[in-house]
Amino acid sequence: MDLIAVCTVSGSVWVARWYNALEKIWTLTPSLDDEGKVETLAWRPDGKVIAIGYSNGIIRLYNVDKLEMIHELIQKPIESTNSLHLICAGINCLHWVHETCANPDHMIFGQQEANNFLSAHPIQKYLPRLNTLARVQPISKLLRNISETDGDEMDDETTNSIDLLLAGDAHGNLHL
């Protein structure tokens, strides 16, 4: 699928598909309470998610098919060197990285080594807090809905690949 994302002067982001002609799929208009303007865009390698970086330091991830925000990353403000104000640096660079290990034997850690490493180094305190579920359904209804799907979303196949979003801000920091 050939998609293009464009940020307009007014701050809107629109995504269009090219199939013999340019066909606009959706438009994301800037919200009134959002003080930041769009600085950069980046596609996830599979083309299903777009990351948008704003001048106020916020990164939002959107599902391209449904125009729904699936995650929002907010920087912690830091003290300005010139004053006592807390500021967030604008996001000015986004890049998705996709890495695959074709042979699992060449991986650095096996499952046991990874578990030992994670138990010895509590990395969860450095990771951003996950969003809570918006609505919770009874497990019986959830299982019924899963069995009715075509199975693509619930594919439990183990993969040897990882997608990372790299973000650079105006202060020269690199965020993963």
Query: Is 65 within 8 Å of 27 (Cβ atoms)?
Result: no
104-159 pLDDT tens trace: 665 555 566 666 666 666 666 666 666 665 555 555 555 555 445 444 444 445 56
- Classify 16 as helix, strand or coil: strand
Mean pLDDT of 70-90: 76
For residues 52-87, one letter each, b for 16 or more C-beta atoms within 10 angstroms of the residue's C-beta and e for the rest, the string is: bbbbbbbbbbbebeeeeeeeebebeeeeeeeeeeeb
Predicted local distance difference test score (pLDDT) of residue 163: 84
Predicted local distance difference test score (pLDDT) of residue 122: 66
Predicted local distance difference test score (pLDDT) of residue 51: 95
Predicted local distance difference test score (pLDDT) of residue 161: 76
The angle subtended at Cα 26 by Cα 22 and Cα 31, nearest 5°, is 135
21-40 pLDDT tens trace: 888 889 998 876 666 889 99
Mean pLDDT of 69-78: 84
Mean pLDDT of 79-101: 78
- Phi, psi values for residue 113, rounded to 5°: -65, -40
What pTM did the predictor assign?
0.66
Beta-bridged to residue 164, according to DSSP, are 97
Rounded Cα distance between 147 and 12, Å, is: 38
56-67 pLDDT tens trace: 889 999 999 888
Rounded Cα distance between 87 and 80, Å, is: 6
Domain that holds residue 64: 3-175
- Assigned token pair, 105: 């034997």
| Residue showing tokens 């060197």 | 81
- Classify 154 as helix, strand or coil: coil
Task: Tell me the one-letter amino acid at 158.
Answer: T
Predicted local distance difference test score (pLDDT) of residue 76: 76
Rounded Cα distance between 11 and 138, Å, is: 40
Predicted local distance difference test score (pLDDT) of residue 107: 56
Rounded Cα distance between 30 and 17, Å, is: 21
What total number of domains does the chain contain? 1
- Classify 142 as helix, strand or coil: helix
